[in-house]
């Protein structure tokens, strides 16, 4: 009964994953084995190191802010009376529901060089317009902002579920012992949520590190390749410039972080499996 | 004591008011892009390029909607998206429900490894796979003559790699929570595995199946990288790629139409979410907590 599942995993995931390693050792027309030439070529290019840096900065900054905002918003929702929570939660999850390629178009239009609705507000309060996607630093800020906007609601939902599972007695006991809100947060909430925080951060790190949609639609890697992450650069080299092996080599650099995150997640799951 | 209690109540009240204030701010942040999509979609091109407030509609019009919904190209994107998503959901369910049943109940050789494998597959992003898959499809064409590139139905082959692992994984969780006594009782009554699956597991785990279905649908509807890499001609495109490649012509951005197209493209998942929010959220949280 599990045969179709095995076929999908082996033929459409396992085989391509291994094949991409083989591909990365071939020349552009894929007729000749070149060993590590693709990699040494990448290492010699400045753009590659820029992409490495941008991928790391993009993923780490975005995940940190998603986690922080998600954590705060989950607390705000948790603080209000139970009967209103559903409505707020419903509105707050909307960014996660809209397909990212579609919502990023809205952001692209909000950042438009000549009609930017944000600049219109800025001008209204007397601030010079910002070249959101044309200036490299603002463009880097913009892709991170959109990613945080898209991902924070997911963290909010996960943390809210975790908050609800913390037994009320623990807070009562802490209150009797004279704990202030900070101590309650540090000694009760955070330890109880440790697992869920770890696993959502790891998940999100994987997804954000491998992000494609947002960067592709918002900046397509520009200006001058400054906002490329591994996935968008691999697409540009592999599909648009039809150098598939080089694209495969670039995308393989996503693998180490994936493997590390996967090991941690699996360890956590096994531990919980043993406890149960 | 009485003073302490009222001050605690006061603290609660203060925390609540501040929570509302901050929630309001975050709702504005989270809802600005979709609301702005709606605003722009209701404007004429003349108004969009006029030097008036972009945040207000002075002369609301439905012309963008009329134009898009009567455009055969846009309707083709919509049809392709709907076809792909429905087929992918069907395949996903047909594959992952029996597989999850087998993995949660029949202990066979390698079943534990397979369960871990399913989870690992879920962690492998499509951005790692699209290049080798592209080349493999070219090989398949050279070997068998079947053209796989630039055909909308090839997405039906590709998307299950994104949906099946996660759906199987959460279904294993839901099936695992069904008490063993239920299927033992059914076995004693002479039921076979198929009957146990259809008469007990599927009805009991229906909320999980609905959550998995919603997940599979939203993932297929939103997927952007595979169609961008694998399909190119206008009649083969799905919505996300179609809007981006055909409505943006060179440097000419018809923003009214783009926003209308994007909003209509976002509508199916939003509608599902509005009506089945609890299942949607159950599916979201199950992935990380059911493990």
User: pLDDT, tens digit, for every residue of A63-106?
Assistant: 999 999 999 999 999 988 888 888 999 999 999 999 999 999 99
In a domain, A152, yes or no: yes
Bridge partners, B253 (sequence order): B248
Q: Using alpha carbons, list the distances in angstroms from residue B261 to A75, A96, A110, A275, B81.
A: 35, 18, 16, 50, 13
In a domain, A18, yes or no: no
Q: Which of B123, B277, B280 sits opposite A262 (nearest CB)?
A: B123
Chain A, chain B: beta-carbon pairs less than 8 Å apart: 270
For residue B242, the number of C-alpha atoms closer than 13 Å in the C-beta half-sphere is 26
Q: Which of A99, A210, A231 sits opposite B265 (nearest CB)?
A: A99
C-alpha B118/C-alpha B113 separation (Å) is 9
Token pair for residue A196?
Answer: 């869920």
pLDDT class of B271 with cuts at 50, 70, 90: very high
Domain at A119, CATH number: 1.10.3720.10
Top CATH class, B62-289: mainly alpha
In a domain, A196, yes or no: yes
* Residues belonging to chain B: 291
pLDDT class of B187 with cuts at 50, 70, 90: confident
Report whether B130 contacts B228 (CB < 8 A): no
C-alpha B80/C-alpha B45 separation (Å) is 28
DSSP B117-172: HHHHHHHS-HHHHHHHHHHHHHHHHHHH----TT-TTHHHHHTHHHHHHHHHHHHH
**Closest-CA distance of chain B to residue A61, Å:** 18
Q: What is the mean pLDDT of residues A252-263?
A: 86
pLDDT digits (tens, 9 = 90+) for B58-86: 888 899 999 889 989 899 999 999 999 99
Count of the separate structural domains present in chain A: 1
CA angle B198, B200, B203 (to 5 degrees): 80
- Pick among A2, A149, A164 to test the B interface (most B CBs inside 10 A): A2
In a domain, A37, yes or no: no
**Closest-CA distance of chain B to residue A92, Å:** 6
What confidence score (pLDDT) does residue A276 get? 43
pLDDT class of B246 with cuts at 50, 70, 90: confident
Q: Which residue has the tokens 């898209």?
A: A150
Q: What is the mean pLDDT of residues A210-224?
A: 89
What confidence score (pLDDT) does residue B290 get? 41
Token pair for residue A114?
Answer: 């000549």
Domain of residue A71, residue span: 49-81+89-275
In a domain, A36, yes or no: no
What confidence score (pLDDT) does residue A215 get? 94
Q: What is the mean pLDDT of residues B179-206?
A: 88
pLDDT surpassing 80 at residue B258: yes
In a domain, A121, yes or no: yes
C-alpha A208/C-alpha A205 separation (Å) is 5
C-alpha B132/C-alpha A22 separation (Å) is 9
**Closest-CA distance of chain A to residue B231, Å:** 12
Residue A203: closest C-alpha in chain B: B123
User: What is the residue-averaged pLDDT of chain B?
Assistant: 87
Cross-chain Cβ contact A238/B134 below 8 Å: yes
B186-190 contacts: CB < 8 A, separation 24 or more? Answer: none
Please list, in sequence order, all residues whose beta carbon lies within 8 angstroms of the beta carbon of residue B249, skipping any fewer than 6 positions away.
none
Q: Which of A26-30, A104-108, A241-245, B17-21 has the lowest mean pLDDT?
A: A26-30
User: What is the residue-averaged pLDDT of chain A?
Assistant: 89
Torsion of CA B191, B194, B199, B202, to 10 degrees: 150
In a domain, A199, yes or no: yes
Bridge partners, B219 (sequence order): none
Torsion of CA B41, B44, B47, B53, to 10 degrees: -20
**Closest-CA distance of chain A to residue B189, Å:** 23
What confidence score (pLDDT) does residue A273 get? 58
DSSP assignment letter at A13: I
Chain B partners within 8 Å of A244 (Cβ): 131, 134-135
pLDDT digits (tens, 9 = 90+) for A131-160: 888 899 999 999 999 999 999 999 999 999
* H-run or E-run covering B45: helix B45-49
Q: Which runs of consecutive H residues, i.e. helices, occur in A80-133?
A: 82-92, 94-97, 100-110, 117-124
Q: What is the mean pLDDT of residues A170-183?
A: 88
C-alpha B234/C-alpha B231 separation (Å) is 9
């Amino acid at each position: 009964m599990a045969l179709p599942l095995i076929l999908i995993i082996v033929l459409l995931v396992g085989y391509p994953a291994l094949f991409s390693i083989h591909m990365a050792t071939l020349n552009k027309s894929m007729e000749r084995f070149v060993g590590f030439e693709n990699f040494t070529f990448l290492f010699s290019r400045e753009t590659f190191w820029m992409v490495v840096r941008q991928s790391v900065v993009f993923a780490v900054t975005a995940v940190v802010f998603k986690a922080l905002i998600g954590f705060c918003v989950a607390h705000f929702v948790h603080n209000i009376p139970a009967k209103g929570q559903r409505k707020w939660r419903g509105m707050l999850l909307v960014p996660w529901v809209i397909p990212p390629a579609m919502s990023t178009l809205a952001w692209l239009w909000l950042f438009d060089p000549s009609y930017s609705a944000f600049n219109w507000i800025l001008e209204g309060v007397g601030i010079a317009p910002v070249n959101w996607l044309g200036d490299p630093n603002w463009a880097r800020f913009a892709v991170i902002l959109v990613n945080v906007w898209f991902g924070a609601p997911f963290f909010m939902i996960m943390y809210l579920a975790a908050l609800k599972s913390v037994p009320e007695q623990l807070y009562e006991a802490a209150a009797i012992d004279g704990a202030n809100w900070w101590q309650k947060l540090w000694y009760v909430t955070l330890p109880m949520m440790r697992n869920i925080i770890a696993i959502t951060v790891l998940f999100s790190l994987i997804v954000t590190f491998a992000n494609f949609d947002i960067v592709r639609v918002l900046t397509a890697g520009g200006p001058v390749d400054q906002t490329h992450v591994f996935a968008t650069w691999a697409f540009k080299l592999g599909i648009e410039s039809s150098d598939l092996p080089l694209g495969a080599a670039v995308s393989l650099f996503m693998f180490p972080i994936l493997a590390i995150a996967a090991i941690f997640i699996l360890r956590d799951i096994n531990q919980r499996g043993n406890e149960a | 004591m009485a003073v302490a209690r009222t001050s605690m109540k006061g603290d609660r009240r203060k925390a609540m008011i501040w929570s509302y204030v901050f929630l309001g701010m975050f709702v504005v942040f989270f809802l600005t892009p979709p609301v702005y999509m709606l605003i722009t979609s209701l404007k004429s091109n003349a108004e969009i390029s006029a030097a008036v407030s972009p945040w207000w509609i002075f002369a609301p019009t439905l012309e963008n909607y009329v134009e898009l919904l009567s455009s055969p190209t846009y309707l083709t994107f919509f049809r392709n998206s709907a076809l792909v998503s429905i087929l992918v959901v069907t395949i996903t369910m047909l594959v992952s429900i029996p597989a999850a049943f087998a993995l949660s109940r029949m202990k066979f050789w390698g079943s534990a490894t397979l369960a871990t494998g399913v989870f690992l597959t879920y962690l492998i992003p499509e951005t790692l796979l699209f290049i080798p898959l592209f080349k493999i499809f070219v090989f398949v064409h050279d070997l068998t003559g079947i053209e796989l590139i630039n055909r909308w139905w090839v997405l039906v082959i590709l998307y299950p790699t994104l949906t099946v692992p996660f759906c199987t994984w959460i279904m294993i969780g839901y099936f695992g929570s069904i008490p063993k006594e239920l299927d033992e009782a059914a076995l004693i009554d002479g039921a076979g595995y198929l009957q146990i699956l259809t008469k007990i597991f599927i009805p009991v785990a229906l909320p999980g199946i609905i959550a998995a279905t919603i997940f599979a649908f939203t993932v297929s509807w939103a997927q952007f990288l595979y169609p961008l890499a694998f399909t190119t001609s206008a009649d083969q495109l799905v919505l996300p790629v179609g809007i981006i490649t055909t409505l943006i012509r060179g440097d000419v951005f018809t923003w009214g139409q783009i926003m209308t197209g994007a909003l209509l493209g976002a509508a199916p998942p939003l509608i599902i979410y509005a009506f089945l929010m609890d299942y949607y959220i159950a599916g979201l949280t199950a992935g990380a907590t059911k493990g």
